[in-house]
């Protein structure tokens, strides 16, 4: 995944979101070793301290763990990863429904429109 960071939100939060998406999408698999903080910071073009803060938050959440002399790894707790995936999906659905509501669509109209679009794209 590419590092698409913007200046209107805190960078470390965007880094956390990037890692979360990378984990739930399978770019990082359970038990995978992460590159060093310096390598990740260089790849994302951010300050190493900012990358360290993001990784520390991920570690506190349990998505990443540190082995003293060998670095950081993605959690091997597949149920935690699945729960994160579901939570991220629910957030996206809520945001989508809110936007559709602001456009004047009811939930039923939204579902009907989604079904229609899905059927068009299946062919």
CA trace torsion 103, 108, 109, 115 (10° rounding): 120
Q: Tell me the residue range of the domain where 69 lies.
A: 11-76
Confidence of residue 69 (pLDDT cuts 50, 70, 90): confident
User: Are residues 47 and 98 both part of a single domain?
Assistant: no
Phi and psi angles of residue 65, each rounded to the nearest 5 degrees, phi first: -135, 155
Mean pLDDT value of segment 11-36: 95
What pLDDT, on the 0 to 100 scale, is given for residue 120? 87
Task: Please check whether residue 5 lies inside any domain of the structure.
Answer: no
Nearest to 72 by CA among 55, 49, 88: 55
pLDDT at 123: 58
Gap between the Cα atoms of 113 and 61, Å rounded: 37
Stated pTM of the model: 0.82
Rounded mean pLDDT of 67-83?
93
What's the chain's average pLDDT? 93
Cβ contacts of 81-90, under 8 Å, gap ≥ 24: 81/23, 81/24, 81/30, 84/20, 84/23, 84/24, 85/24, 88/20, 88/21, 88/24
Q: Are residues 27 and 68 in the same domain?
A: yes
How confident is residue 119, by pLDDT bands cut at 50, 70 and 90? confident
Residue 1 pLDDT: 61
CB 65 within 8 Å of CB 72? yes
Same domain, 29 and 45: yes
What total number of domains does the chain contain?
Answer: 2
């Amino acid at each position: 995944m590419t590092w698409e960071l913007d200046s209107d939100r805190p960078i470390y939060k965007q880094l956390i979101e990037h890692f979360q998406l990378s984990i739930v999408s399978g770019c990082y698999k359970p038990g995978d070793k992460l590159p060093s903080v310096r390598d990740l910071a260089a790849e994302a073009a951010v300050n190493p301290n900012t990358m360290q803060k993001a990784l520390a938050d991920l570690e506190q959440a349990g998505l990443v763990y540190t082995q003293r002399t060998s670095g950081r790894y993605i959690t091997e707790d597949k149920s935690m990863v699945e729960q994160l995936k579901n939570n991220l999906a629910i957030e996206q659905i809520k945001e989508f429904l809110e936007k559709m509501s602001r456009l004047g669509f009811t939930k039923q109209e939204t579902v009907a429109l989604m079904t229609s679009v899905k059927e068009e794209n299946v062919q």
